Structure 1
Amino acid sequence: MCWPPGCQSSIHDHDESSCWVTVVEGTVHEVQFQLPQLDRKFLEAEAKDPASAVGHCGRLKVVNVASLDTGGVTGTYANNDIGIHRVENRSDKMACTLHVYAPPLKKMKIFSEEGNVHVHVASKNSQGCDNGEGCDGNICSKLQGRGIFDVEQWNRGGGAATS
């Protein structure tokens, strides 16, 4: 992922996935928050429809801030047992990171510092590669049906990186 100067991700969890982040260029900060309490209305909405729940959460509490830099600590690990996080580029230079999710990231909760929370789900691969244009059909058959994150939709839904 590329992080322009002053850019930051939304505050988010990783559902059932673990996340490893490594800096490949520049410096980013990972801000970890304690997982807040979710209101009953949100939990009930998520139980009925795990893909579109919207609600409220308790106050977000910062528990750690780590500077990740190619000249020092280069990586971090996150999962929901540790908490939720945001990645920030506090510098005036471009930064780039590599993210690995296992199992693949299918959905996440997006939190706001104002106490709102909503679910963002990966969409099914709608690009289809059965015509063979620009991809190996064998690879596409393995990817077909797996979720991908629709960045445009994420940006419209409030889960966008901001500057």
Structure 2
Amino acid sequence: MANATQTHPLQTGIGNFIAGLKELERDLITKDKIAAYMAAMPVRAEALQDYVWWRDSFYTRNLIYRDDLFEVMTICWSPGQKTAIHTHNGQLGWMTVAQGEVTTHEFSHASCNAPENQNVVNIDCLGGATELQIDRLGSIVCAEGTGMVTVDKLQTIHQIENTGNTGCISLHVYSKPFDSCIAFDLDQQRCYRRQLSYFSKDGTPIQA
């Protein structure tokens, strides 16, 4: 793995990072604009330590900042931990990795028995299918200092997995914030709305 100092020459504090995002709220938020900002303002793991919490049973979602346009969080992954296959509610998303590596598996919706619930205005899916086919498109490895994964309104279904041998800290920005998503259970052939929660807010755990 590349030396962290070489990979992240800008030692961006999380306060500076959030302040820069708030400045961007004055203009139209686009996938490319926020991706360019995050590439120019890398945040090292040391700057995220107040928002790093590990749990053996599941990955943790740790809220750093949220307003009407942006949601910023760390997600901490022990080796082997992964999300369900899920949507992003039609919202934009960006992920970089401050420590370790994760693999993003990308999927597309091929068919289901509730097609009327697809592509609803301002949301990607209502769920409710009991027969479905989700095609796997490929996988992207995102590691410390090596790029970024984005989600947009065209590519919105994915699964994130820590495929490395160490704990991983990823930094996520969403626009707009969302509190639920559609999860896909391919074994049970169903999709359903899943409520999302945080393990910590502002550096303080809120869950046991």
Does the aligned pair in 2 maintain the 1:16–1:103 contact within 8 Å?
no
Q: Which runs of 5+ in 1 are unaligned?
A: 47-51, 122-148, 153-163
- Runs of at least 4 residues off by over 4 Å: none
Does the aligned pair in 1 maintain the 2:109–2:133 contact within 8 Å?
no
CA distance in 2, matches of 1:102, 1:63: 24
**1:86 correspondence with 2:159:** yes
Q: What letter matches 1:95 in structure 2?
A: C
Q: Which runs of 5+ in 2 are unaligned?
A: 1-74, 121-125, 200-208
2:197 aligns with 150
Q: What are the Cα deviations for residues 92-133 of structure 1, in whole angstroms up to 9, with x where unaligned?
A: 210011111101113310001222100124xxxxxxxxxxxx
Q: What letter matches 1:26 in structure 2?
A: G
1:11: how far off?
0.6
Matches within 5 A, 1:90-101: 90-101=163-174
**1:77 correspondence with 2:124:** no
Structure with higher RCO (Cα < 8 A, 6+ apart) = 1
Identity, % of aligned pairs? Answer: 20
**Equivalent position SS for 2:111:** coil
1:67: how far off?
0.5
Q: What are the Cα deviations for residues 10-32 of structure 1, in whole angstroms up to 9, with x where unaligned?
A: 11001131111111110100000
Q: How many residues get paired? A: 121
CA distance in 2, matches of 1:68, 1:26: 9
CA distance in 2, matches of 1:70, 1:84: 23
Q: CA RMSD in A?
A: 3.0
CA distance in 2, matches of 1:3, 1:10: 14
Q: What letter matches 1:40 in structure 2?
A: A
TM-score (norm 1): 0.63
